[in-house]
Structure 1
Amino acid sequence: MKWIYLGAAILSEVTAALSMQAAVDRPGWYALVVVGYLASFALLIRVLRSGMAIGVAYGIWGASGVALTAVMAAVLFGQALTPVMLGGIALIAAGVLLVEIGSQRALAARGKAAR
């Protein structure tokens, strides 16, 4: 369940960030900015209550949010998405994967030490 909460938190945060861009020309979008960020933080709290470590949850949430926002801003608003930016997104994805692998190994090592 914690991964579903985390995915929803990421999508809420990305929605809020993209709504900020939309609100530049249409201020009515600011309501979705507020709702999106409030929902994102509430969901992130649920992730933490589900047992995910803050370093893992916040790292994945933040990194994924940056990457998805950049891609969606290019799709929705025609903003630049250069090869250098795509390389950065690939590095973000690799970093998220390494954080998760490291977290799983630490959890397994802690489980062995407790026995």
Structure 2
Amino acid sequence: MAPYLLLALAIVAEVIGTVSLKLSEGFSKLGPSIIVVIGYGVAFTALSLVLKLGMPIGVAYAIWSAAGVALVAIIGAVFLKEQMTLTMIGGLVLIIGGVVLLELGAAQ
């Protein structure tokens, strides 16, 4: 499996785990709590395989964390009715821009 497909799996699993963490209400709800453990397990396993396939750790972690932050923030705003300000949107744009620069630098 290509490293970027595994990285996408790691991102999706981490986002599912993080959103489920919110829904677990401090691990007081069993279903979401189980999904947290499975989500993070899949995320870290997939990320470790990405690194094993040779993607630089700085690039892999930057993409993984930035995509996770952006997706969780968007899900929080759209589905969980959490606040999203223009300043927060600007921060997400800066994070994503930084990851793009890391990726471009690694490609040289």
TM-score by length of 1: 0.87
Matched, 1:36 2:78: no
Aligned length: 105
51-60 or 22-31, larger mean C-alpha shift: 22-31
Q: Trace 1:38-57 onto structure 2 (pairs within 5 A).
A: 38-57=41-60
Instruction: In structure 2, list runs of 5 or more residues that go unmatched.
Output: none
Higher helix share: 1
Q: Structure 1 unaligned runs (5+)?
A: 106-115
Matches within 5 A, 1:36-115: 36-105=39-108
RMSD, aligned CA? 1.2
Highest CA radius of gyration, 1 or 2? Answer: 1
| Superposed structure 1 runs of 4+ greater than 6 Å apart | none
What letter matches 1:22 in structure 2?
L
> How much does 1:37 deviate?
0.3
Q: TM-score, normalised by structure 2?
A: 0.93
